[in-house]
Amino acid sequence: MRESSFDFSTTLGSAWFPAPVFTASGCASSGRELSQFFPLDEIGAVVTKSVMLKERLGRPTPRMAETPSGMLNSIGLQGPGIDAFLAKDVPWLVENKARVIVSIAGETVDEYGVLARRLRSVPGISAVEVNISCPNVDNRGLVFACDPESAKAVVESVRRTLAGDLPIIVKLSPDVTNIASIARVVVDAGADALALINTLLGMVINTDTMFPHLGGKTGGLSGPAIRPVAVRAIFQVHEALPKVPILGMGGVRTGRDAFEMILAGASGVSVGTASFGNPTALIDVQNELKQLLISKGFNSVQEAVGFAHRPSKANP
């Protein structure tokens, strides 16, 4: 397979992307910092930090902790609110030729509907990520992805509002017993694709002060430590719902890590925490992934999606 004839594009619902590597929501804000290191149109898309209806200051500091092979964050949905975001960030991304996936987060089912309505006629948006799995909320009842009825209500509200305007990608939490059953509920409610996985709820206690280290006490664990959890979740959901596109994420640092997620069933892969240590991680992952797919004999990304599910000699 020659590089020139290899098809590196991918789709999430009706949205098409020329490459399968994306930013992870929350790790690149609206892409301004990363644009100093590479042109944003070289990656699949920028997935923006989950935005709420109103400006939000987020949780008390400290908001970060290093952990073995990972990182704990407790940002708490800090952001400018949807109006400022649509006035400043989306136009800037469009000017910079980035493809844009806007991530939204609401405090109530209705708020998700209102946010979706604001996005309906905005030019330059490829898809909406509906984040129902932020771990950094003070009331665990607001982690909609951990309760099938709440998850269903949010997705139905966004689907009703958007009709067929924009593909809906729903971001799920790994902190559930059966992620495939939650996936099925949100797909039945109208999700076109799924983003797997958000961070895992964790905690670090400072053994000098003998108090929790983070201002918000708990935080979301990301980085290589969670990659096997993400691969497992992607594999289980692809097995249950093989036609539903998955945007995979969780500890991807190399092209081989991204390849592993594609083999598990992801149609695209987001790189998040790795960008903090290496601002060109997205480009490095993308280049390495392309070479790996070609060297394994694939003609396209699509051919490799879910390849680990084929029957083996040992397990036909």
What positions carry a catalytic annotation? 134
Which residue has 């290496």 as its token pair?
278
Residue 133 or 157 with smaller CB distance to ligand RRO? 133
Q: Which is nearer to ligand RRO, 267 or 273 (CB)?
A: 273
Binding mask 119-148 for ligand RRO (x = CB under 6 A): ------------x--xxx------------
Angstrom distance (rounded) from CA 268 to CA 263: 11
List binders of ligand RRO among 73-112 (CB under 6 A). 73, 75-77, 105
CA dist 238 and 256 (Å) reads 19
Query: Minimum distance from CB of 199 to ligand RRO (Å)?
Result: 4
- Report d(CA 235, CA 264) in Å as an integer: 5
Instruction: Please list every residue from 48 through 67 that binds ligand RRO, using CB under 6 A.
Output: 50
- Cβ atoms of 12 and 247 closer than 8 Å: yes
* Cβ at position 5, least distance to ligand RRO in Å: 38
8 Å CB contact between 154 and 188: no
**Stretch touching ligand RRO by CB under 6 A, among 68-76, 159-167, 270-278, 291-299:** 68-76
Which of 50/286 has CB closer to ligand RRO? 50
Give the strand pairing for 218-222 and 268-271: unpaired
Site size for ligand RRO (CB under 6 A): 14
Distance CA 129, CA 22 (A): 12
Strand partners, 171: 131, 195
62: burial class by Cβ within 10 Å (0-12, 13-18, 19+)?
middle
Tell me if 275 contacts ligand RRO by CB under 6 A. Answer: no
Report the residue number, 135 or 224, with the smaller CB distance to ligand RRO.
135
Q: Interaction with ligand RRO in 197-216: which residues (CB under 6 A)? A: 198-199
Residue 13 CB, shortest distance to ligand RRO, in Å, is: 20
| 62 contact partners, CB below 8 Å, separation of at least 6 | 74, 213, 214, 215
**Footprint of ligand RRO (CB under 6 A):** 26, 50, 73, 75-77, 105, 131, 134-136, 198-199, 220
